[in-house]
């Protein structure tokens, strides 16, 4: 089995990645890092460019993780791709990053995270960025 | 640190409990089972009665878990109690059960689970009952 994590550059993606690394280590399972871009991916800040992908791979190698980085650009939403990949590899766990509530208390539930939580037929670990 | 799980009788609570037991074992941490009742708890099917509590404790003993069962009836909602208890014991993880989407695709996101996901300042593992 595999731990699957949805990765986007930034603090929320980092928090998800750190949690996923720890879970993969505890479970002694490989890590599948899924990064989804929209068809105009060159202009999509959520999609890793080549330099970002290389730095991410270096970090994961340094951590000693068994990992794969998968970048998908096929016009499907991130949540849909993440759930589909989790099915494909029979993931034991999906890790997603969640936004925090705003200081005014407004609900900020990322629609992609919410879709993964609703649609995934597997346990989902939801983590937030540190304060 | 501690793994905290929100427990209600039934398949969703069972799924959460099983996942929490596995996580507590992997993390070598004790398990805090939180069961919240409303002030008319005697008529609250989500609140464990004495027999249910004894059977639950027997099961957890049989599993070899280091655990505590905490039943709270103080007029606060389950999500609020769960998040507060997780803070109090400095939980490493909160485990909650999620309802599935209905067959018609209607969103069924339990409001208590959603509040825990939004409010908790810690990782939340969300699990569903088996089909």
SS (H, E, C) A88-123: HCCCCEEEEEECCCCCCCCCCCCHHHHHHHHHCCCC
Mean pLDDT of A59-88: 95
User: Total structural domains in chain B?
Assistant: 1
Q: What are phi and psi of A65, to 5 degrees?
A: -80, 150
- Please choose, from the candidates B101, B96, B11, the residue with its C-alpha nearest in 3D space to the C-alpha of residue A115: B101
User: Does B103 score more than 70 pLDDT?
Assistant: no
β-pairing, A124-128 vs B124-128, is antiparallel
Q: Among A108, A118, A127, select the one facing B109 at the smallest CB separation.
A: A118
CB A29 within 8 A of CB A2: yes
User: Does A114 score more than 70 pLDDT?
Assistant: yes
The residues of B whose Cβ lies within 8 A of any Cβ of A are 19, 26-27, 98, 101, 107-109, 114, 117-119, 121, 123-128, 131
- Residue among B128, B129, B130, B131 with most chain A CBs within 10 A, to mutate: B128
Q: Where in the sequence is the domain holding A75, given as residue range(s)? A: 3-128
User: Does A41 score more than 80 pLDDT?
Assistant: no
CB A118 to CB B127 under 8 A? no
CB B31 within 8 A of CB B66: yes
Element counts in chain A: helices (H) and strands (E):
4, 5
- pTM comes to 0.93
Tens digit of pLDDT for each residue in B64-98? Answer: 999 999 999 999 999 999 999 999 999 999 999 99
CB A125 to CB B125 under 8 A? yes
The residues of A whose Cβ lies within 8 A of any Cβ of B are 19, 26-27, 98, 101, 107-109, 114, 117-119, 121, 123-128, 131
Mean pLDDT of A84-108: 84
Does the CA dihedral A123-A26-B31-B124 come out positive or negative? Answer: negative
Q: What is the ipTM of this complex?
A: 0.92
Question: In angstroms, rounded to a whole number, what is the distance separating the alpha carbons of residues A107 and A99?
Answer: 9
Classify B34 as helix, strand or coil: strand
Q: Give residues with Cβ within 8 angstroms of A101, minimum separation 6.
A: A107, A108, B118, B119
CB B94 within 8 A of CB B62: no
Q: Among A27, A101, A127, select the one facing B123 at the smallest CB separation.
A: A127
- List Cα–Cα distances, A70 to A6, A18, A57, in angstroms: 10, 17, 11
Predicted confidence band at B8 (pLDDT cuts at 50, 70, 90)? very high
Contact list, A98 vs chain B (CB under 8 Å): 117-118
Orientation of helix B78-88 relative to helix B111-119, angle to 10°: 30
Contact list, B125 vs chain A (CB under 8 Å): 123-126
**CATH number assigned to the domain comprising residue A22:** 3.40.50.620
Predicted confidence band at B107 (pLDDT cuts at 50, 70, 90)? low
- Closest-approach residue (CA) in chain A for B15: A123
Report the gap between the CA of A4 and the closest CA in chain B (Å).
Answer: 14
């Amino acid at each position: 089995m595999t731990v699957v994590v949805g990765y986007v550059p930034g603090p929320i993606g980092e928090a998800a990645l750190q949690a996923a690394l720890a879970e993969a280590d505890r479970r002694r399972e490989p890590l599948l890092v899924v990064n989804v871009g929209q068809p105009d991916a060159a202009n999509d800040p959520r999609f890793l460019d080549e330099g970002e992908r290389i730095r991410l791979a270096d970090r994961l190698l340094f951590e000693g993780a068994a990992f794969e980085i998968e970048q998908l650009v096929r016009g499907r939403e991130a949540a849909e791709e993440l759930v589909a990949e989790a099915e494909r590899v029979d993931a034991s766990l999906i890790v997603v990053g969640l936004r925090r509530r705003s200081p005014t208390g407004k609900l900020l539930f990322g629609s992609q995270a919410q879709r993964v939580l609703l649609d995934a037929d597997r346990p989902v670990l939801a983590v937030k960025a540190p304060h």
